[in-house]
Amino acid sequence: MTSIRAEVMGRTPVHDMLTVWAGPDAEHRAHCGDLTMRTEEAAELIARIEAREPVHQDDQIAPEVAAHVLFHFGRGGWPASGFKSRLVELIATADVVNRGLLALGFPGYVAAFNLAQTTDDGTATLLAIVDGAS
């Protein structure tokens, strides 16, 4: 069984920062890595995952998201920074179950990865999304 965990990893003057991970045990955590985010973001992510909100594929990939995923695959775009950079790496290394869980919190990023990795014209579609925004 996969569980969602959050641990306080530090405090800033404005926010508590949490480390969030999904997995059955510490070994899985070491393999997949952590996401560090503000407490409010972590609470929202955990709530969405626990509620198992449906993910809709249509019109959910924003130009910025498409650009980050394209950059990850070396096909243009631009790099993500900070939390989003870590998120891109986490999605790239997630197994099917955990990618599904990440899709509940970050549907656009996961949809963009799935599009790029599972369709023949996925990167072309992502490029069109980026180009359509300029």
Distance between CA atoms of 50 and 73, rounded to whole angstroms?
30
Q: Please, which residues bridge with residue 16 across strands?
A: 11
User: What does pTM read for this prediction?
Assistant: 0.59
Tokens of residue 133, six digits: 């925004």
Residue-range domain boundaries for the chain: 3-133
Residue 28 main-chain phi, psi, to 5 deg: -65, -40
Query: In this predicted model, what pLDDT tens digit does every residue of 1-50 receive, in sequence order?
Result: 445 555 555 555 555 555 555 555 555 555 555 566 666 776 776 777 67
